[in-house]
Structure 1
Amino acid sequence: MMRRETQMPETGNQKLVKKINKSIVLKMIRNQAPISRAAISQKAGLNRGTVSSLVSELIDEQLISESGMGESRGGRKPVILLFNQAAGHSIGIDLGVNYLLGVLTDLKGKVVEERKIEIHSLSAEEIISSIKSMIRELHKSAPESPNGTVGIGIGVPGIVNHEGEVLLAPNLMWDHIPLKKILEEEFSIPILIENEANAGAYGEKLYGAGKEQENLIYISAGIGIGAGLILNNELYRGLKGYSGEVGHMVIDVEGKHCRCGRQGCWELYASEQAILNEAHALGINEDSADPLTLEQLISLADKGHQEVIDLFIKTGKYLAVGILNMINTFNPEQVIIGNRMAMAEKWMKPVISETMKEQSKEFNQEGIDISFSKLATHSSPLGMAAFITENFLESGIAQIH
């Protein structure tokens, strides 16, 4: 009499191992496609049966696909696997002090759609309403895909805890705003709130100037200043996620008063707001009825306006002082200056290099690359979209309602 075998249910440990292996296989296909099952098995150290089973599941979930035959090294030609980057879309939004910039990306970070609006002196309620509208617009613009919109990431210029509450954003005048909770009441997909400089560092590491380095500092220089740290190829957030608030590093103990309650904070001297304040004090463009902007100052500098050029040079010197403090602390391979002040690279880069040579020892600068972001204001929203994509690929499938 033939014995009937009973299938044992998967234990919790088996499910966890399977999930980890599936994530490894998917990441390998995503990052190294076109690739065969055999190559995955060899590189990942998984047996072929496990790889074939996991690949079948990923094909059923439409996250990957088969495409033709690869080159044979003897025997049958292997079937090639491709990552389906159009299987879903991520929303990343950068909440600037005076703008909102949102992108919709596919699962490889390619921008499919973007939106930008200016925001000036709005209440928290008005800004959050604008964020909701931007999310709806970006979602509506998404092409059809098996998994729809897989999540929403918001980069905020302030201190954010692990629960997605904005504890303090001085330049927005936000104090304990439960942004994640508010958005979750309207959108039933994963939502992530992160410091915008952390997101910018991640965006630069994946898509920008930081691809080749394992240790880098990203300086987000906009209305305020923040920093994102990539240390040993990992984003460093600190004990509770509060790292990178370098805009409030004091560089003049008897200096200007800051909204944070201290005096002489770095961002009072080296930010977009700092240069706009200086320009106002000099009466630059005072005949215009519209508020002065960084773009106008750059246009004036391009036309040879010496007072404005001098302002960029002065700001660059102060920016160099703070960068030197961070280099002395972390000794990174690279410092990337990003966000809106990256638009002023033409006038600031020479003075930053000169100031650093004057104020530090040669050995302390050796091997350190000081560069400006090519992604500019897109570093943060791209980084936020990437966070969402990574979380989705590791945790499962969700759709927007």
Structure 2
Amino acid sequence: MKMTGDQTLIKRMNKSLVLDTIRSHAPISRADIAAKLGLNKATVSSLVAEWLDERLVLETGLGESSGGRKPVMLLFHREAGHAIGVDLGVNTVSAVLTDLSGAILARERRRLRVSAPADAALVVCDVVRSLARSAPEAPYGVVGVGLGVPGIVDDAGVVLTAPNFGWRDAPLRGMLEAELGLRVVLDNEANVGAVGEKQFGIGRDAGDLVYVSAGVGIGTGLIVGHELYRGASGFSGELGHMTIQADGGRPCSCGSAGCWEMYASEIALTALGDGAAPELRELEGAVRLAEAGDAAAIAVLEAIGRYLGIGVATAVNAFNPEMIIVGNRLALARRWLEAPLREAAASRALRHHLDRARIEFASLGLDSAALGAASLAISRFLDGAKAGGGGPPGAAAAAEG
């Protein structure tokens, strides 16, 4: 009998649920999957057999008996493929190679000394190829690339604007896919940072959080009800461009003035006057000076911390989150930022909002955005597998050249 469209959809949904259950609860038996999902054992066995054929599920040892034969346990085959996550910063490209569970297998970081979209794309491709060559053999090879960009990205993978790069309407995803022969997922860097900390880091148990990506500029990623919040047009989270200095504010690359990121990011260091030591104009130098007890460096970093706290208080008041997570490069100066940040937030946030909000620093360090980007690539691959789309291009195409 020919299966109807409704039956096909139901089967696809059940097959998806079976894989998700194995991923969440492995090692698990077929009988336990059936019990959790309310499906009959024959249906579960048939769907598991398909996932075994597709090499995304493995059988492992025997589990505990509940009276009969010991059941064969099932695992998600996390080594069936690999993903590459890339954090494209203004001055640095940071990337990770992961398995399908998000475990990091290799890292690569490079200085970015170009600014044109096509030139930046070539650097990203070189990093991706390098990591792809290091990937162990796997049935699906490299399943895709995720990329976080400090700008506004549309659904077509076009960077509509990236003020700190000076980009407008850059078709970055198309450039990368044409060069690599791999599927590429693009998103805002703060969004993927939020996903990284939510999936793998300190925000794992928080349903509502704000991730503050403070580096060369500031972006924010919002998790609402355990899901990434994108807004009506998909462009939410640009809190770095909220005005905190209404009169006489520093001009911002976005075209406005007095934006939060002009005072609470690395831009605050580069904006220091001619009397400041050259080493103080970049983050690593400022940290070195502060570690040596330099009073000027400590004062500058503490001032940045206070401005961070002012913006954090606004985010707490506006979104009433469970957690605010401060990440990206500025977290390298946590030792001098944290106390003034917390003091400023405590003095400006509404008490009832702040009582329920934890202010934390990213637990994944500089890997938050790259891991979140890899997670998006993995999710897209698995969504395709659940829809019956087959595997994407493998690692060979990425390793050419």
Q: How does the TM-score come out when normalised to structure 1?
A: 0.94
Distance 2:204 2:226 in 1: 10
2:227 to 231, 234, 252: 234
Aligned residue for 2:15, secondary structure, equals helix
2:256 aligned with 1:262: yes
State yes or no: 1:159 paired with 2:148: no
Deviation of 1:184 (Å): 2.2
Quote the Cα distance in structure 2 between the aligned partners of 1:143 and 1:17. Answer: 35
Q: Could you tell me which amino acid in structure 2 is paired with residue 180 of structure 1? A: R
Structure 1 counterpart of 2:314, from 321, 325, 328: 325
Partner of 1:174: 167
One-letter identity of the residue aligned with 1:262 = S
> What's the offset of the Cα at 1:224?
0.7
The 2-side partners of 1:153 and 1:12 are apart by: 33
1:277–1:264 CA distance, 2 compared to 1 (3 A): same
Q: How far apart, CA to CA, are the structure 1 residues paired with 2:288 and 2:164?
A: 25
| CA deviation string 1:82-126 (max 9, x = no partner) | 111110001110000110011110001011112111113532221
CA distance in 2, matches of 1:46, 1:284: 68
Deviations for 1:363-395, whole angstroms, at most 9, x for unmatched residues? Answer: 231121000012122111100101111111121
Q: 2: CA distance between counterparts of 1:208 and 1:140?
A: 27
Q: For residues 186 and 50 of structure 1, what CA distance do their matches in structure 2 show?
A: 42
* In structure 2, distance between residues paired with 1:37 and 1:282: 70
Which of these residues, 297, 300, 316, is aligned with residue 311 of structure 1? 300
**CA shift at 1:292, angstroms?**
4.8
2:125 to 123, 132, 137: 132
Query: Does 2:352 correspond to 1:356?
Result: no
Distance 1:194 1:185 in 2: 18
Aligned match for 1:88, one of 78, 81, 94: 81
Q: Is 1:277 equivalent to 2:266 in the alignment? A: no
Unpaired stretches in structure 2, ≥5 consecutive residues: 386-390
* Unaligned stretches of 5+ residues in structure 1: 1-7
- 1:337 Cα deviation after fit: 0.2
Q: In the alignment, which residue of structure 2 is the partner of 1:390?
A: 379
CA distance in 1 between partners of 2:158 and 2:2 (Å): 40
**Counterparts of 1:277 and 1:179 in 2: how far apart (Å)?**
29
Task: Give the superposition deviation at 1:10.
Answer: 2.9
- Write the distance in 2 (CA, Å) between the matches of 1:295 and 1:176: 32
- Select which of 182, 202, 217 maps to 1:189: 182
CA distance in 2, matches of 1:93, 1:12: 39
Q: Match for 1:110 among 93, 103, 121?
A: 103
Work out which of the residue numbers 290, 293, 310 in structure 1 matches 2:282: 293
Determine if contact 2:117/2:172 at 8 Å carries over to the other structure: no
Say yes or no: does 1:207 pair with 2:196.
no
Q: Percent identity?
A: 45
- Determine if contact 2:306/2:344 at 8 Å carries over to the other structure: yes
CA contact (8 A) 2:85 2:373 kept: yes
Query: Given that residues 94 and 102 in structure 1 are in contact (C-alpha distance below 8 angstroms), is that contact kept between their aligned partners in structure 2?
Result: yes
* Range that drifts further, 335-344 or 183-192: 183-192
> SS where residue 386 of structure 1 aligns?
helix
Paired with 2:17 and 2:301, the residues of 1 have a C-alpha distance of 47
Q: 1:342 matched to which residue of 2?
A: 331
Contact 2:313 / 2:344 at 8 angstroms: preserved in 1?
no
**Partner Cα distance (1:231, 1:157) in 2:** 21
Q: Return the offset for 1:240.
A: 1.9
Deviations 1:1-57 (A, max 9, x none): xxxxxxx23333333222222221112111211111111111122221111111111
Give the distance between the partners of 1:297 and 1:306, measured in 2 at CA.
Answer: 11
Return the letter of the residue paired with 1:315: I
On the 8 A contact 1:90/1:149 being kept in 2, the answer is: yes
- Distance in 2 (CA, whole Å) between partners of 1:54 and 1:216 is 36
- 1:3 match: none
Query: Residue 219 of structure 1 contacts residue 338 of structure 1 at CA under 8 Å; is this kept in 2?
Result: yes
Letter of the 1:259 partner, please give it.
S
What CA deviation, in whole Å up to 9, does each residue of 1:312-334 have, x standing for no partner? 11001111111111111110000
Comparing 85-94 and 374-383, the one that deviates more = 374-383
Question: Are 1:23 and 1:393, in contact at CA under 8 Å, matched by a contact in 2?
Answer: no
DSSP-derived class of the 1:112 partner: strand
Q: Does 1:302 align with 2:291?
A: yes
The answer to whether 1:75 aligns with 2:101 is no
Measured in 1, the distance between the counterparts of 2:105 and 2:222 equals 28
Q: 1-side partners of 2:21 and 2:355: how far apart?
A: 35
Residue pair 2:114, 2:120 contacting (<8 A) in 1 also: no
Q: Indicate the SS of the match to 2:222.
A: strand
Matched with 1:5 is none
- What is the CA distance between 1:192 and its match in structure 2? 0.7
- The match for 1:142 is 135
Out of 1, 12, 15, the position equivalent to 2:8 is 15
Tell me what 2:369 maps to. Answer: 380
215, 221, 236: which one pairs with 1:222? 215
Secondary structure class of the residue paired with 2:102: coil
Q: How many angstroms apart in 1 are the aligned matches of 2:235 and 2:299?
A: 34
Structure 2 residue identity aligned to 1:227: T
User: Could you tell me which amino acid in structure 2 is paired with residue 98 of structure 1?
Assistant: N
Deviations 1:136-186 (A, max 9, x none): 112111110001010111100000011111000000111000111222222
In 2: Cα distance, 1:68 partner to 1:360 partner: 53
So what's the TM-score if we normalise by structure 2? 0.94
Does the CA-based 8 Å contact 2:317-2:350 persist in structure 1?
no
Q: Describe the shift of the 1:251–1:192 C-alpha distance in structure 2 as closer, same or farther (beyond 3 A).
A: same
